[in-house]
């Protein structure tokens, strides 16, 4: 692997803090940790297209850890948020074989691995990082300055903020909660395992524990929690009449060459309702779902 960091300018990061983990049910500890040992992926030959997708996805992940979370490139390359893909796909992904370039001044990350074309991700201020389409140097939208208007968390009542009313938690074995938290953080490496747990019971915090050098204000990647946030925001837009999920996505590259947009005969275009739910939905403009490409061709 060759890793190059361009410029020595400091990065700016704008992410609002989130609690690293929220657990309403105790148990299944091994399956809830980055430090667990997932079953090895079945060995198979990776295609150039699959490698291209992975380069784009992991460039975005590394970009987010550096420019949103606020880690240095050296720190970012060593933490579980990034290294987990080497464990999940050991036959497909090896960071030692990836050409990694980090441009601190332009706030972008580029990953390369022959024979795929290098893929990049770029930081867009408060809108986070985005994967760039093949052959593009900039995103295909105008980044907006999405300034938060929420009140301070330390002045806002729970659950929207951190201020609690002191109400006692009832109906739960507090000793058992503490024992589970002790077990979860025993011999724990936060860069590979647990960073923070919040245990809820009847809407109240029954237990809260953080790893060394972590607390409730530490920035972390949201991972799949982002899908829940996205679905909630889409639901609000639909409810308020700003979005019709039956409309086609407004990106021409996602439409079949001869599709009828009005009737959508044979489902030959990607609809807005598919983007949050369809596992074959495209990564970005210019890369339509594979099964639709195969049907057209």
Would you state the pLDDT for residue 1?
55
**Residues 8 and 104: beta-carbon distance below 8 Å:** yes
Task: Kindly tell me if the per-residue pLDDT of 135 is higher than 80.
Answer: yes
DSSP lists the bridge partners of residue 119 as: 111
**Residues 4 and 98: beta-carbon distance below 8 Å:** no
DSSP lists the bridge partners of residue 103 as: 6, 108
Q: How confident is the model at residue 17 (pLDDT cuts 50, 70, 90)?
A: very low
Strands 108-113 and 116-123: antiparallel
Percent of the chain scoring above 90 in pLDDT = 35
How far apart CA 162 and CA 153 sit, in angstroms, is 6
Task: Kindly tell me if the per-residue pLDDT of 33 is higher than 50.
Answer: no
DSSP lists the bridge partners of residue 197 as: 209
How far apart CA 74 and CA 3 sit, in angstroms, is 9
Q: What tokens does 152 get?
A: 């301070």
Percent of the chain scoring above 70 in pLDDT = 72
Q: What is the DSSP-derived secondary structure letter of residue 121?
A: E
Would you state the pLDDT for residue 269?
63
Would you state the pLDDT for residue 292?
36
pLDDT tens per residue, range 44-99: 678 899 889 989 999 999 999 999 999 999 888 877 777 776 777 777 788 888 99
Task: Kindly tell me if the per-residue pLDDT of 266 is higher than 60.
Answer: no
81: helix, coil or strand?
helix
Task: Kindly tell me if the per-residue pLDDT of 13 is higher than 90.
Answer: no
Report the pLDDT averaged over residues 28-35.
34
Query: Quick one: which of 293, 290, 254 has its CA closest to 270?
Result: 254
Domain segments of the chain as ranges: 3-13+28-131, 225-296
pLDDT tens per residue, range 271-287: 777 766 654 444 444 44
């Amino acid at each position: 692997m060759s890793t190059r960091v361009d410029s020595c300018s400091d990065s700016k990061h704008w992410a609002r803090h989130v609690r690293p983990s929220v657990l309403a049910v105790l148990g299944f500890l091994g399956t809830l940790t980055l430090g667990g040992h997932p079953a090895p992926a079945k060995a198979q030959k990776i295609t150039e297209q699959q490698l291209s997708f992975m380069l784009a996805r992991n460039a975005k992940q590394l970009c987010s850890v550096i420019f949103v979370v606020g880690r240095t490139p050296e720190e970012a390359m060593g933490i579980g948020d990034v290294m987990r893909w080497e464990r999940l796909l050991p036959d497909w992904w090896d960071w030692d074989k990836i050409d990694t370039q980090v441009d601190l001044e332009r706030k972008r990350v580029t990953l390369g691995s022959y024979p795929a074309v290098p893929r990049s991700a770029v930081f867009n201020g408060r809108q986070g990082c985005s994967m760039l389409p093949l052959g593009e140097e900039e995103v295909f939208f105008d980044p907006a300055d999405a300034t938060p208007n929420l009140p301070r968390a330390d002045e806002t009542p729970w659950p929207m903020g951190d201020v609690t009313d002191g109400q006692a938690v009832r109906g739960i074995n507090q000793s058992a909660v503490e024992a589970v938290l002790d077990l979860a953080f025993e011999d724990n490496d936060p860069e590979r395992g647990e960073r923070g747990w919040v245990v809820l019971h009847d809407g109240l915090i029954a237990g809260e524990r953080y790893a060394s050098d972590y607390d409730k204000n530490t920035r972390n990647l949201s991972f799949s929690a982002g899908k829940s946030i996205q679905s909630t925001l889409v639901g609000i837009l639909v409810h308020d009449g700003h979005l019709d999920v039956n409309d086609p996505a407004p990106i021409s590259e996602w439409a079949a060459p001869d599709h009828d947009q009005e009737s959508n005969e044979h489902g030959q275009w990607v609809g807005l309702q598919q983007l949050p739910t369809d596992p074959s939905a495209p990564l970005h403009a210019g890369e339509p779902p594979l099964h639709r490409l195969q049907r057209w061709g």
